[in-house]
Amino acid sequence: MRHANGFTLIEAMIVVVIAAILAALAAPSFRSTIAAQRITSVSGTLQSSLNLTRAEALKSNANVTLAPNSGTAWNTGWKSYGADNVVISTSSATPLVTITGPASVVYQRSGRASAPATFKVSAADTTTIRCVTVSTSGSAMVTSSGC
């Protein structure tokens, strides 16, 4: 009598079921991790845009504004533009992330912000938040609390 090598169909199905159960248990923590990473990425992009806007105000010796693409909804993306309304840079929409902040941030030609500003970046699938603050001196900083 010959002895067959390999797995039976039943054994393979049991392994697949166990793997599916383990994946289902791990999925919620992955969702939270992905949301937290998305928040970190968006807050870093916002900080970079603020720094670019400040640098452009200094370079052009004119006021430069960073504002949302649509109304006051920062998660629709944002743009920076000069006094002549020429768009300097844009950032795309950030779905699945909520950004609350001022209507706009205006950098004066000296590089100082016309008023301090605070942005709160959050998402539904995690408790992680990031705060992007702009001081009157114009510097933008990301922190994990203090919004």
Give residue 122's pLDDT band: very low, low, confident or very high (50, 70, 90). very high
Residues 80/87, Cβ–Cβ less than 8 Å? yes
Please check whether residue 79 is in contact with residue 91, taking contact to mean a CB–CB distance below 8 angstroms: yes
Q: pTM of this prediction?
A: 0.82
75-118 pLDDT, tens digit each: 999 999 998 899 999 999 988 999 999 999 999 999 999 999 99
Asked if pLDDT for residue 145 goes beyond 90, the answer is no
Domains and CATH numbers, the chain: 9-143 (3.55.40.10)
Banded pLDDT at 29 (limits 50, 70, 90)? confident
Give the pLDDT confidence score for residue 2 in this predicted structure: 66
pLDDT for residue 26: 76
Residue 4 pLDDT greater than 80, yes or no: no
Residue 123 binned pLDDT confidence (cut-offs 50, 70, 90): very high
What's the pLDDT tens digit per position in 39-55? 999 999 999 999 999 99
Among candidate residues 110, 77, 109, the one with its CA nearest the CA of residue 95: 77
- Sequence-distant (6+) residues with CB within 8 A of 141 are 47, 132, 133, 135
